[in-house]
Each structure stands twice: as C-alpha cells, then as structure tokens.
Structure 1
C-alpha cells in the first residue's frame, strides 16, 4: 500500500470510529472548514464552525 492509501485508510478508520461512537465533536474535528452537510430531509447546507458541524451531526443520531 502506498503512503496516500495508508493515510486515507487511517483517516477513514478514525472517521468511522467517531461516527459509530456518536462522537460528533471528534468527527467535526476531522473536517475542513467550512463544512457541508447533506441529508435527505433538508437538502444541503454549509456550516462555518466546528460547533455547527457537531450540532448537525448530532441531529442524525438516534
């Protein structure tokens, strides 16, 4: 596996772990800013802060 593939795999593993543990702040910390959230009910939106990203993720949690 080349360096970029290993980096991508590590990033996606970390991101999956934050989502499966419902750690919205840790997930938002992995995003660039501004961030975009897409959902099937409200469409798309741009979020300017990590706090807004975390809040948007929390809305998708059970």
Structure 2
C-alpha cells in the first residue's frame, strides 16, 4: 500500500463528528439531552480552527 501525507483537517473533522455521534447516542440511552445551541457552534469553531491550522501548515511546507 502506498503511503500518503497526513491530512490533519480530515482527521480532526472525522474525529469531531465521531465524538458528536457518540455524544448523541449516549444521551439517547439515558435521561439526558444534548443542547444543540452549544454543539453546533462548537463544531463550527473546531472545524474553522482545524482549517486554519491546515492552511498554515500547507503554506509553511510550500515555503521550504
């Protein structure tokens, strides 16, 4: 199998959506509820930070 470069944005996005899915699954098993007013903005903030980090990393690799 051929190796490829690590894509941090995809890794963070996949992990984030997995955590959110597990959070909703655990909440549905009990009496708890998940507040969407917090989950959705935090998701966008984390994805934005991951996108910026990925862009900065790509720019620094090009300048080498």
TM-score range, shorter chain: 0.3 to 0.5
TM-score (norm 1): 0.38
Structure with greater proportional strand content: 1
Task: Give 1 or 2: higher helix fraction.
Answer: 2
TM-score when normalising by structure 2: 0.37
Query: Which structure has more RCO (C-alpha within 8 Å, separation ≥ 6)?
Result: 2
Q: Compare CA radii of gyration and give the structure with the larger one.
A: 2
